[in-house]
Structure 1
Amino acid sequence: MIVITTPTGDIGSRLLHLLLQDPHQEQLRVIVRDPAKLPDDVRGRVDIVTGSHGDAEVVGKAFAGADTVFWVVPPDSRTPSLEAAYSGFTRAATEAFTAYGVSHVVGVSALGRGTPVAGQAGLVTASLAMDDLIANTGVAYRALANPSFMDNLLRQVTSIRDHGVFTDTVDADRRAPFVATRDIAAVAAGLLLDRSWTGADEAPVLGPEDLSATDLARIMSEVLGRPIRYEREPLDSLAARLTSFGAGDAFAGGMVDMMRAKDEGLDAGVRRTPETSTPTTFRQWCEQVLAPAVLA
């Protein structure tokens, strides 16, 4: 049995769709706070445990009889500390992995391990510490080491459509890997269905090419048929904006530190190979996902 956390999230929902299409039809169980958010055609095909996967009673119920878990920590903008948001949230699950005999875990994490800035990368540093916590239980573990997501641009659809502008905090000409969440879900599905792997390691998910903000603006302009430009947001402006939306100091500071680290090469430590590359180009993503959202 495979347990899926965050089954209604960007990655989890795509992963669940892929696993439900698998011809071997492994038994699936999901942990979800609100089962009504699951699609109707999914709800009747999975075992549902209601609650938070940060809760010991919930994960105990979910992991009983399961051998494999897909693990994602949900964002908590009001967390008192980054340690609490990642390792603290995960601690009950790590105890349950051992207690219930879970053998394999695939987790969503980030690039950066081994780079000079890994220890000062805010949210990423906390995520890497969570990976260590899981690996130290003795389960076979693969941390999906991800760069920035193409799909995060969907949060700026209104600005792209109405003003022809998208923002980020990195240098306009710094190239870095960029990945579609559907490709992350596909890598996760492959690992969850073929559990011949052992030990603890990372599985980098790099997309097909490195791109800069200048590259993104050019490709979006070509696909959308209108000029799109990049505006760099200062880090102090990012912190103020997050705080104005209700984020606490720990989360806002962690985001700022992560973005500063990205601008200093956090995502540049892994070489792209056929094994670390994924197929969806940014142009394809723009044609298939961004353009319909902008036109809508």
Structure 2
Amino acid sequence: MRSGTVAVLLPTGQPFSWVAPADIAAVAASLLLRADWSGRRVQAVHGPQDLSWDDVVAVVGDVLGRTVTAHRVADDDMRATLAGAGMSPAQVEAIMGMSTGLREGFVPEQPRTPVTTTDTTLGAWAWAELRPTLDATG
């Protein structure tokens, strides 16, 4: 983000779900705190809308007050970048698996519904979480 470019694995125009971590926590807490809850439950969280990388960099750029672009890189280049950032081989492959799985016709097990749609927009998250982090680190 600081350099104005983001390396990505997906086509930059392909939309997919974006969800704020706090929304995941809120859904989990709301289920776990129910008096009638027991056992296991799978609950999708899809965020308020599907966004492409082109959409994401436009929103983030607006929040940060700078131009940000996304560009595709090869899988091996991304692996090298992630490993170079200090990630373990298992962490690298976990991220690669999530990203490459999305470009191969991924269909979520639970579709977007009012129950699976969460509230926090990317812009709200970027303003509250990303902007202060980047401001603090230059």
TM-score, normalization by structure 2: 0.84
Distance in structure 1 (CA, Å) of the matches to 2:106 and 2:45: 14
CA spacing shift, 1:291–1:243, aligned 2, 3 Å: closer
1:246-289 superposed Cα distances (whole Å, 9 cap, x missing partner): 623x5544443332111123354432111111110001111111
Of structures 1 and 2, the one with the larger relative CO (CA 8 A, separation 6+) is 2
1:224 counterpart letter in structure 2: L
Residue 14 of structure 2 is aligned to residue 174 of structure 1: yes
Q: 1:247 aligns with which of 80, 88, 97?
A: 88
CA spacing shift, 1:287–1:267, aligned 2, 3 Å: farther
Residue 132 of structure 2 is aligned to residue 292 of structure 1: yes
Correspondence for 1:107: none
Correspondence for 1:277: 117
RMSD of Structure 2 on Structure 1 (CA): 2.1
TM-score, normalization by structure 1: 0.42
Distance in structure 2 (CA, Å) of the matches to 1:246 and 1:222: 30
1:217 counterpart letter in structure 2: V
Q: 2:31 aligns with which of 184, 191, 216?
A: 191
Deviation at 1:202?
1.1
**How many residue pairs get matched?**
135
Distance in structure 2 (CA, Å) of the matches to 1:180 and 1:275: 15
CA spacing shift, 1:193–1:253, aligned 2, 3 Å: closer
Correspondence for 1:224: 64
1:87-236 to structure 2, matched below 5 A, reads: 160-161=1-2, 163-198=3-38, 200-236=40-76
Q: What is the DSSP-based 3-state SS (H/G/I as helix, E as strand, rest coil) of the residue aligned with 2:42? A: strand
2:100 counterpart letter in structure 1: R
1:12-161 to structure 2, matched below 5 A, reads: 160-161=1-2
Runs (4+) of structure 1 exceeding 6 A deviation are: none
Identity, in percent, stands at 34
* Larger relative strand fraction: 1
1:219-242 superposed Cα distances (whole Å, 9 cap, x missing partner): 112222211111222111122234
Residue 85 of structure 2 is aligned to residue 258 of structure 1: no
Determine which structure has more spread, i.e. the larger CA radius of gyration: 1
CA spacing shift, 1:233–1:275, aligned 2, 3 Å: same
CA spacing shift, 1:242–1:291, aligned 2, 3 Å: closer
1:59-111 superposed Cα distances (whole Å, 9 cap, x missing partner): xxxxxxxxxxxxxxxxxxxxxxxxxxxxxxxxxxxxxxxxxxxxxxxxxxxxx
Deviation at 1:203?
0.6
1:89-134 superposed Cα distances (whole Å, 9 cap, x missing partner): xxxxxxxxxxxxxxxxxxxxxxxxxxxxxxxxxxxxxxxxxxxxxx
Distance in structure 1 (CA, Å) of the matches to 2:80 and 2:91: 12
Which stretch of structure 1 is more off in the superposition, 192-201 or 232-241? Answer: 192-201
